[in-house]
Amino acid sequence: MKNLFNTFGILVTIFIFTSNSIAQVNSDYDKSTDFKKYKTVSFGGWEKESDKILNDFDKKRITDALTNEFNSRGIKLVDANGDATVTLYLVIKNKSNITAYTNFNGGLGYAGRWGFGRGIYGGVGSASTSLSENEYREGTIVIDLYDTAQKKLIWQGDMTTEVQEKSEKREKSIPKNIKKLMKRFPVDPIKK
């Protein structure tokens, strides 16, 4: 029984710590828009000073990943006056989670006329609980795509995930997460 509780506690702890890094993705778009007519996209910039949150390396990682995703769909990035304009908005929040791990220990007790044994009749047991707090940063990126001529929002995608502290991890996770977000884009990548 003790092993069952220990195994359960370990599984809960693993789930909590790994669930932080799972990206939550949402998107919405104008259903009346023919997205196949968009052949070029221009970068409209970062909204509300979001670019000041990131260093230049991470900004480039994000824009390069977006460029690759648009290119894979036959949409070319141009300097200005694209058929569509993409803007980016970023929010970073400091977060924490608390994990409680309880270890149950059974006890010996008097088991009636039959002598001592593990008992339901007043056996003394014990339990100890330990808490651990994990602090991390959570980032949300919002990608808005506008029809340039009509100045109308046609697609919005957002993703929330744990921000990786090490640049080597961000170098891998940013393109992977942008790819995951762009799977929600109404135009699929061109099959080669």
Tally the C-alpha atoms within 13 A of residue 96's C-alpha that lie toward its C-beta. 6
Using alpha carbons, list the distances in angstroms from residue 22 to 1, 138, 162, 163, 181: 32, 11, 8, 11, 12
Which tens digits make up the pLDDT trace of 66-92?
999 999 999 999 999 999 999 999 988
19: its two tokens: 């669930």
Domain residue spans of the chain = 2-182
Confidence of residue 11 (pLDDT cuts 50, 70, 90): very low
Q: Give me the pLDDT at residue 70, please.
A: 97
Query: What is the distance, to the nearest Å, from the Cα of residue 63 to the centroid of all Cα atoms in its chain?
Result: 18
For residue 73, give Cα distances in angstroms to 69, 99, 144, 148.
7, 43, 17, 18
pLDDT reading at 40 higher than 90: yes
CA–centroid distance for 119 within its chain: 47
Residue with tokens 């092993």, as numbered in its chain: 3
Report the pLDDT averaged over residues 41-58. 85
Fold of 2-182: Double Stranded RNA Binding Domain (3.30.160)
- Is residue 135 classed as helix, strand or coil in its secondary structure? strand
Nearest C-alpha neighbor of 45 from the set 88, 91, 82, 90:
88
